[in-house]
Amino acid sequence: QRLLEAYLARYDEMAQVISREIGAPAKLAHAWQAGLGKRHIEETLRTVEHFPWQRKKGTTLINHEPVGVAALITPWNWPINQIVCKVAPALAAGCTVVLKPSEVSPINAVLFAEIMHAAGVPEGVFNLVNGDGPSVGAALSAHPDVDMVSFTGSTRAGIEIAKLAAPTVKRVHQELGGKSANILLDDVDLEAAVTAGVNACFSNSGQSCNAPTRMLVPASRHDEAVGIALRAAGKHRVGPAGDPATTMGPVVSDVQFGRVQRLI
């Protein structure tokens, strides 16, 4: 509860930091990027009120215990969302955590560490270590004192983490990348579905794991779908993240820009 209060006290600052770091339009950063951090804390609070830490199953007592030290490795595209949805449940379960945020968007994690301090989280319970995956992420994944690794990111990195964690038989939890397909069938309301698909794809500059970035339509309706997509795209305003009229801000980095160009 104190964490939620401390988060709300710096909510606007969190939204501004994320907007500057990754280029998310100001409205999106405030309503969703920072907003999801708040909602994850609230949902954790609701869950722990009713969670059955102990329950009988026949003659067996099932007892939920902290796994121990959890290394949490998070991505840059929805940074505080991923940080809080890992940190809050881990703390609620009684674990200590070591957070390694993405080196691409580290400042919101530093702000979150200040929020944790303001909330009075005991020293050593929450730990922040900045750095990249091949150095810091690899060290955490292999460290004998880490009991669990939670990773959100690419399949390539996920494979390496699993290999590094294997010798110490860590628990490993992963959410790995894919290429999200948006499949529209013959009987769909094409105007509504294509428009919604384009809008969802463009949100957060397309930098979301669930952005429907491949729209598959029946070949017989291809030209119709292209026309609808053009109209939908034309209503978006590309510009600086801080401009209230912007609906699509810049991508996060020159590396990401180059990757997008190659995909096109």
Q: Which residues are catalytic?
A: 175, 209
Sign of CA dihedral 242, 243, 247, 250: negative
Helix (H) / strand (E) element for 106: namely: none
- CA pair distance 112, 119, nearest whole angstrom: 10
Please state, in angstroms and rounded to a whole number, the distance separating the CA atoms of residues 115 and 37.
12
**Is residue 73 within 8 Å of 137, Cβ to Cβ?**
yes
Q: How far apart are CA 31 and CA 34, in angstroms?
A: 7
Q: What number of other Cβ atoms are within 10 A of residue 127's Cβ?
A: 16
- Interstrand relation of 96-100 and 126-128 (parallel, antiparallel or unpaired): parallel
Structure token digits, residue 243: 């401009």
Q: Are 238 and 257 in contact (CB under 8 A)?
A: no
Look at residue 104 and give its three-state secondary structure: coil
Cβ neighbors of 203 (< 8 A, separation 6 or more) are 28, 211
Hey, what are 192's tokens?
A: 């509504």
